[in-house]
């Protein structure tokens, strides 16, 4: 009797886990229920909803990021860290080249920069790079701006690279 009970519990757990994974693969339905406004706040591809979450005491999004993003869609795109083509170009050009690389990857997936939900930027000269990054990213992003993290590091690959940006998008 005990073995039969354990077998049923194990089956119930597998069913629960499979249903949860299926739900995640099918468009994150739990996020859809949590959204206050089901309409997209920017022009998105069909069935994608991205909503900015801005608590009153959080930093303002005017510097090109939103404190939190609630996203609903069918697919996730994870963009590996991208850097510029030309390490000797001026810093603004390097950031534009980096954002252009991210844009091309998103377009290959059927999306756009409007689908970004988070950016992570790494700089070898943080105090020099952050203001330029903030300026250039606003040329490529739309509201609600993606959530964002910027980190100063001592070194990036490949040698000579001084900036790198990785991203996640919901399509």
Is the Cβ–Cβ distance between 43 and 114 less than 8 Å? yes
Q: What is the pLDDT of residues 66-90, one digit of tens each?
A: 778 787 888 999 999 999 999 999 9
- 60: tokens are 């303002």
Distance between CA atoms of 147 and 2, rounded to whole angstroms? 49
Q: Is the pLDDT of residue 149 over 50?
A: yes
What's the pLDDT score for residue 114?
A: 96
Helix (H) or strand (E) holding 17: helix 2-25
Regarding pTM above 0.85, the answer is no
**Topology of domain 37-170, CATH:** 60s Ribosomal Protein L30; Chain: A; (3.30.1330)
Which residue is listed with tokens 């000797």?
Answer: 88
User: What is the CA 36 to chain-centroid distance, rounded?
Assistant: 21
């Amino acid at each position: 009797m005990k073995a039969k009970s354990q077998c049923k519990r194990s089956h119930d757990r597998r069913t629960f886990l499979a249903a949860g994974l299926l739900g995640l693969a099918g468009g994150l339905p739990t996020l859809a229920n949590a959204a206050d406004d089901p309409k997209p706040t920017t022009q998105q591809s069909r069935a994608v909803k991205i909503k900015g979450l801005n608590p009153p005491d959080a930093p303002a999004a005017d510097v090109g990021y939103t404190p939190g993003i609630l996203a609903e869609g069918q697919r996730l795109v994870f963009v590996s860290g991208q850097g510029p083509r030309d390490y000797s170009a001026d810093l603004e050009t390097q950031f534009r080249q980096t954002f252009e690389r991210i844009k091309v990857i998103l377009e290959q997936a059927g999306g756009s920069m409007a689908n970004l939900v988070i950016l992570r930027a790494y700089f070898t000269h943080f105090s020099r790079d952050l203001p330029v990054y903030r300026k250039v990213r606003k040329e490529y992003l739309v509201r609600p701006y993606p959530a964002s993290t910027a980190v100063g590091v001592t070194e990036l690959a490949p040698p000579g690279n001084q900036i790198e940006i990785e991203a996640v998008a919901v399509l």
